[in-house]
Amino acid sequence: MSLLQVKNLRVEFPTRRGTLVALDDVSFDIAPGEVLGVVGESGAGKSMTGAAIIGLLEPPGRIAGGQILLEGKRIDNLPYEQMRRIRGRQIGAIFQDPLTTLNPLYTIGRQLIETMTTHLPIGPGEAREKAIGWLEHVGIPAARERIDSYPHEFSGGMRQRVVIALALCAEPKLIVADEPTTALDVSIQAQVIAMLKTLAREKGTAMMLVTHDMGVIAETADRVAVMYAGRISEIGPVRELVRHARHPYSKGLMDSIPPLDRRVERLQQIDGSMPRLSAIPKGCPYNTRCPRVFDRCYVERPELLDAGTTRAACWLYAEGAPQGASV
């Protein structure tokens, strides 16, 4: 059974000029221990999806439809206190900027210990020993000496390792990692991701990994979801999606990645920009930029359809699509 199921999730923001639909009909599963990569342009709704899963959408944003299930039980409609017990314990979170995610006034040890004593039946002494263990796991040198240091005494990369230790220390089954390395120095991004991947594998932790880095996706994820304008446009196994994306948007996205093995003169860029939430067109949201657009795309919105090994929200994969459409 899936660890996490997101079914037809819809997130709305009531504003003065009407309701904005930030996520619409988003559905996906994550199996135990699986890593789901989530990619897409800025504003596609990746962070919003993560926030909805951990139950921390910022008001006035709210879940207006659909369900989120953890091990078959609904968690999207739990009272605050019950959801709080799930956060950290069952679902951990890693945020983007390690310079701002740690409380500057407390030692890292204190922050680790309070997280563990909140969720696990252990006392502060035992939690402290475990905290030292976690700091070693995430690669903090001289953990025993450094546990009583304050966040500002660490570099950005080291702080993100501490954040990862904090997210994992109550041994959640799922981690929502929102661009965990984007704010880090390029030279240490790979190390931190490798460490995160190894730890998740060792502990059997599933992960929803949001990133802009296709290299990270290719190396870390088992499956990938591509998001566009608050919807999933394609989802499937990582190898298939990276090599043979079916949805025109995913194709464009993959073509814009510099290949590792050969030099190219110029990267393909997708023309135009993603529509704002208030101006998402009728029909397929990608129809303003799609090179393969045809009449049906302006009328009806495509659901996720079988496109061979992946599922794509594109009319090209429906019966009766124009000749030569399918790859």
Partner 1 sequence: MFSFVVSRILQALPVMFVVSLISFAMFAYVGDPVSIMLGQDFTEAQRTALVHDLGLDQPFFIQFATFVGNALQGEFGLSYRLSRPVAELIADRAPATLELAVCAAFIALAVGVPLGVYTGIFRHSWLSRFFLTFSLIGVSLPTFLIGILLILTFSVWLGWLPSFGRGDVVQIGWWSTGFLTWSGIKAMILPAITLGLFQLTLIMRLVRSEMMEVLRSDYIKFARARGLSNRSVYFGHALKNTLVPVITIAGLQLGSIIAFAIVTETVFQWPGMGLLFIQSVGAADIPVMAAYLMLIAAVFVTINLVVDLLYYAVDPRLRVGRGGH
Ligand X SMILES: Nc1ncnc2c1ncn2[C@@H]1O[C@H](COP(=O)(O)OP(=O)(O)OP(=O)(O)O)[C@@H](O)[C@H]1O
Residues forming the site for Mg ion (CB under 5 A): 47
Residue 71 CB, nearest approach to partner 1 (Å): 17
Could you give the CA distance from residue 292 to residue 298 in angstroms, rounded to a whole number? 12
Residue with smaller CB distance to ligand SF4, 4 or 224? 224
Question: How many other CB atoms are there within 10 angstroms of residue 316's CB atom?
Answer: 23
For the record, the structure tokens of 287 come out as 């129809």
- Asked if 286 interacts with ligand SF4 (CB under 6 A), we say yes
- Asked if 88 interacts with partner 1 (CB under 8 A), we say yes
Selection from 261, 240, 264 nearest residue 251 by Cα: 240
Residue 159 CB, nearest approach to partner 1 (Å): 10
Could you give the CA distance from residue 227 to residue 55 in angstroms, rounded to a whole number? 20
- Asked if 228 interacts with ligand X (CB under 6 A), we say no
Residue with smaller CB distance to partner 1, 128 or 223? 128
284 binds, among Mg ion, ligand X, ligand SF4, none (CB under 5 to 8 A by kind): ligand SF4
- Residue 325 CA: distances (Å) to CA of 73, 116, 321: 40, 54, 7
- Residue 166 CA: distances (Å) to CA of 68, 108, 130, 172, 315: 24, 9, 11, 11, 44
Could you give the CA distance from residue 196 to residue 240 in angstroms, rounded to a whole number? 24
- Buried b vs exposed e over 42-53: b needs ≥16 C-beta within 10 Å? ebbbbbbbbbbb
Instruction: End-to-end CA distance of the chain: give it in Å, rounded.
Output: 32
β-pair type (18-30, 4-15): antiparallel
For the record, the structure tokens of 326 come out as 């399918």
Among 3, 22, 38, 87, binds partner 1 (CB under 8 A): 87
Contact 273, 228 (CB under 8 A): no
Residue 9 CB, nearest approach to ligand X (Å): 12
- Asked if 176 interacts with ligand X (CB under 6 A), we say no
| Binding residues for ligand SF4 restricted to 219-248, rule: CB under 6 A | 247-248
Residue 178 CB, nearest approach to partner 1 (Å): 10
Residue with smaller CB distance to ligand X, 42 or 323? 42
197 binds, among ligand SF4, partner 1, ligand X, none (CB under 5 to 8 A by kind): none
Give residues with Cβ within 8 angstroms of 44, minimum separation 6. Answer: 227, 228, 229, 230, 274
Among 287, 304, 305, 310, binds ligand SF4 (CB under 6 A): 287
| Binding residues for partner 1 restricted to 150-209, rule: CB under 8 A | 150, 152-155, 163, 166-167, 170
For the record, the structure tokens of 6 come out as 């997101």
Among 42, 187, 269, 323, binds ligand X (CB under 6 A): 42
∠ CA(243), CA(244), CA(250), 5° rounding?
A: 95
For the record, the structure tokens of 137 come out as 């796991």
314 binds, among ligand X, Mg ion, ligand SF4, none (CB under 5 to 8 A by kind): ligand SF4
By the criterion CB under 6 A, which residues form the site for ligand X?
13, 20, 22, 40, 42-48, 58, 61, 277
By the criterion CB under 6 A, which residues form the site for ligand SF4?
247-248, 284, 286-287, 290, 292-293, 297, 302, 314-316
By the criterion CB under 8 A, which residues form the site for partner 1?
54, 56, 84-89, 92-93, 95, 97, 100-107, 114-115, 118-119, 149-150, 152-155, 163, 166-167, 170
